[in-house]
Each structure stands twice: as C-alpha cells, then as structure tokens.
Amino acid sequence: MSELKIYNTLTREKEIFKPLNAPHVGMYVCGPTLYSHAHLGNCRTFLSFDIVFRYLKHLDYKVRYVRNITDVGHLESDGDEGEDKIAKRARLEKLEPMEIVQLYAVDFHKVLDDFNLLPPSIEPTASGHIIEQIEMTKKIIENGLGYEVDGTIWFDVEKFAKTYPYTELSGRKLDEMLDGTRENLEGQEEKRGRLDFALWKKAKPEHIMRWPSPWGEGFPGWHIECSAMSSKYLGEQFDIHGGGMDLIPTHHTNEVAQNVACCKKSPAKTWMHTNMLTVNGQKMSKSLGNSFLPQQLFTGNHPLLERGYSAMVVRFFMLQAHYRSTLDFSNEALQASEKGFNRLMNALGLIPNLKTASKSSFNINELKENIYSALNDDFNTPVAIAYLFDGVKTINSINDGKEAITEDDKLVLHRLFHEIVLDVLGLKKEVSDIIDSKSPALIQTILDFRSEVKKDGNYSKADEIRKKLEGLGIQIKDSKDGPATYTITL
C-alpha cells in the first residue's frame, strides 16, 4: 500500500506523513465563532477534517482531534477593531452572551450530526481558557515581542519579522502587507507598527465580556485562543493544523507568530486548508443572495433551490470535490449526486446476496489498491469515489450474472465497501434506506404474486404490476426457464 501524503500549505508540496509521536497524531482545527447559524463554508471545512480524522483512525493511528469553539474575542473586523460578534448579537437580541453561544452551539452540533460528523476528541472554548491565554501573553511580553499600551497588549510584528519569516505561511511579502494598511491607520495610533495585533484588549466600559488580568479588565484577542488551546492539549508542536483558506493571511499567520514568540517553535508540522464555496460559478455571499444555510438545503426553502436534498446526499456531493478545490453548488450537481449516492448505497446492499462462483472475473486487490492510493494522495475523495463506482459496476454485473466472484473475494469486497463507504467517507443509510433493506423480500413477494396471477391467465393484471414496479425503478425480466428476476434502476 502506498504511503500517505498530505499537501502542506507551509511548504506548498505533498509530504509523506510521519507523525511526531507515532502512532499518536495530534490535530487542531479552528472551530466556529458562535454568533449565528452554522454556514456551509463551516460545514465543508469540518467535513473535510472529519475525513482526515476518520481515515487516520482507519489506518490505526491514535488521533487526538481538537476543534475549538470561539465564544469571545472575535471582533467584527476579524482584526482588532469593532464590537465582539457574540456581544453584538447578545445586545441585539437582548440576551446574555453565553445564551447566544449556547443557542448556536446546539444548532452547530445538530447540523454536524445531520452530516454524520464524528465529534472531536476535545472541544475547548475560548472563555474556558482565559488563564492559559493570559499566561501565554505574559511569556510573549517576557520574550520582548509584546508590549502594553493603556491596558491593551500588542504583538510587535515588525520586530518579530526581523528574526522569523512572518509571512511564510501566506507567501505574501511583508512590504506589500504594510503598504496595504496605510489607509487604515485611524484609531490605531497606539500601535508601534501597522501590522501589530492584539493579544489582550482593554475592555471599554460598555463591553459585556471581560476578565481581570495583570493589565486590567479586558478580554483576549482572537488569535491567542488557538495558540493557547492547541499548546495545552497537543503540546508545543503537533502534527496537523487545519481550517479554511480564508484563515491563512491573518489568523493562522498570527498563530504561528504567537507560538514562535512564546515557545520558539511553529505549532504545527503540517498545515491543511480547505477551499471556498461557489454557487453556479459565483462566490457564495449574503450580498449576492446566493448564500443558504444547511437547513435550507435540506428543505429546499430557498429561491435558488428546486427542491431539498438529504444531508447524506449533500455530504456525498461535497466529497466529490477535493478539499483544496473550489466546490460549486447547483441543482444539477446536487441531483447528479443524489443519483450517484443512491447507486452506491444500493450496490452496498447487494453485496451480501451476491451468488459466488469458483473463480472471480475481476481483480479485487487492484480495486482495493486503487481506492487506498487515492485516499493516500492527500485524501483524494473524488478519485476514491470514482474507483468505488468501478466496483459498483462490477457488483451490478455480478448481480445480473454477467460477472463472477468467489466467496473469498466477496468477503474482501464487502469489507472494503463497508469500511470505505461507511467508516471512512462517513456515508450512512438514511431512514428510507433502512426501509429499503427490506425491499428484496418485499419485491420477491410481489413477483411471486405476479407469477400466480400469470398462471391464472390474468396477463393484463400481470402487466399492470410490471408497469407499477417500473414506475418505482424496478425492472422485471421474465424467463421461460425459471422465475422472473429484477434489477433496480435509478
């Protein structure tokens, strides 16, 4: 079996994955800021890392997966200005900030459960780790890379950049970043440098969420929470750090800076980032009116959707694009994914009842190797799914009597499809599929009844039964030498 390779955003190349503490793997993924409903961009990112989590576990790694919840410190500008997003929503809805967090945490977990995501090993909150963030901030100050101005602690980016490549993760040039900030200096006079960011913010009198610190009452900056929590649960350096590509220029770049300033180490050996979502070729955004929530996808309650699609169909649709590729939503693509999902799950259900022969007409080991090679190539789910459908064609051919399989190969095929489709890709039978598991016996009962009808000479009734079954996607094939057989078409 080929070695697992992961594309590292830091080095811009695929690297053979070798855990720092084999067989233990530490993985940290930046979680949501809980001030609104989970959006599809979140879901795609967390689904991508659910595959990473599942596949690493499938390969027998012991994985500690940490995904945080941001419940304080994320300001409106995603920088150091504006109101805390959670505090603002709390003020608008006249609720306590933690009521807002709880409200949207329940929604967030419900959506991820709908998509069949495994829970992380640890799900820490920013507000639950204030002490750790203060201690890390103190150490950065001690190391000469943090400074206080009127109760706010700033990180000195330009001083840091003299000894460490601050823009290494983003690939941007520091001079260009500095040029890009010249028009945004109002209200930032207290900073030494235009790129400096807050480790700890002094709380204004009207600010709801505040904690005591050595510098007065305040709250942590957005970036410091992830540095503090990843270090606490995974150590100063761990294997994989993930998130959406939109986090690279600021959040993840500043995380690296904080960890190096505090611990003299970059936090993660490998950085992984998911790409953006589009709708009919356009960037998904509220301003364009083409942004929809997962629940709208499920119900079809959106002007751009012709109808609703099940969570498993949407999951399958997302897996048909590589996590580093743009994912484009359209009704046509979702409907094609629905047909593909049904074909795949139907084939999975056929395997246990396949008739066996003394010799197989295909190479099961080649199929298995192809699927694993795809997954080992930076978790390439679309290619793995394409190989699975090669298997689907074979399964249907065996079921139709056009190909043959031995009992031993059938066991390998069943285990391969079960482990990859259900355990690694995380697809599952929905309620209708569970009912469909009874279908073979029900269909056979109908065929037996139809056979009796034909024996009685009531051919018009037999044809009526045939047409009704065809309308349900069940094709009947009559035989002169034996009972009628059927195939399911989608």
In this prediction, residue 480 carries a pLDDT of 67
* Cα–Cα dist 144/159, whole Å: 9
Percent of the chain with pLDDT over 70: 91
457-483 residues labelled b (16+ CB within 10 A) or e (exposed): eeeeebeebbeebeeeebebeeeeeee
Query: How is residue 288 written in tokens?
Result: 């364009």
Per-residue pLDDT of 260-310, as tens digits, reads 999 999 999 999 999 999 988 888 877 777 888 899 999 999 888 999 999
Q: Which distant-in-sequence residues (6+ apart) come within 8 Å of 142 by Cβ?
A: none
Query: How do the domains of the chain map onto residue ranges?
Result: 5-274, 284-430, 438-488
Amino acid, single-letter form, for residue 46: F
Amino acid, single-letter form, for residue 238: F
Query: How is residue 102 written in tokens?
Result: 């709880």
The CATH class for the domain spanning 5-274 reads alpha beta
In this prediction, residue 59 carries a pLDDT of 98
Distances (CA, A) of 393 to 40, 339, 373, 396: 32, 14, 20, 5
In this prediction, residue 247 carries a pLDDT of 96
Residue 70 and residue 32 in contact, taking contact as beta carbons nearer than 8 Å: yes
Cis before 19 (ω within 30): no
**How are the residues of the chain apportioned to helix, strand and coil, as percentages rounded to the nearest 5?**
45, 15, 35
Residue 88 and residue 30 in contact, taking contact as beta carbons nearer than 8 Å: no
Provide the pairing of β-strand 474-477 with 152-155.
unpaired
> Residue written as tokens 């595959």?
51
Query: How is residue 399 written in tokens?
Result: 């079921």
Q: Is the CATH number 3.30.70.20 carried by domain 284-430?
A: no
Distances (CA, A) of 381 to 52, 343, 387: 11, 17, 10
Residue 382 and residue 376 in contact, taking contact as beta carbons nearer than 8 Å: no
Query: How is residue 65 written in tokens?
Result: 């997966």
* Cα–Cα dist 66/119, whole Å: 10
Residue 374 and residue 387 in contact, taking contact as beta carbons nearer than 8 Å: yes
- Please list the pLDDT of the chain residue by residue as tens digits (490 residues): 789 999 999 999 999 999 999 999 999 999 998 888 888 888 999 999 999 999 999 999 999 999 999 988 676 555 566 677 888 888 888 888 888 889 899 999 999 999 999 999 999 999 999 999 999 999 999 999 999 999 999 999 999 999 999 999 999 988 888 776 654 444 467 899 999 999 999 998 888 889 999 999 999 999 999 999 999 999 999 999 999 999 999 999 999 999 999 999 999 999 999 999 998 888 887 777 788 889 999 999 988 899 999 999 999 999 999 999 999 999 999 999 999 999 999 999 999 999 999 999 999 999 999 999 999 999 999 999 999 999 999 999 999 999 999 999 999 999 999 999 999 999 998 755 444 444 566 787 888 888 888 888 888 888 888 877 765 668 787 876 667 877 665 4
In this prediction, residue 36 carries a pLDDT of 85
In this prediction, residue 458 carries a pLDDT of 87
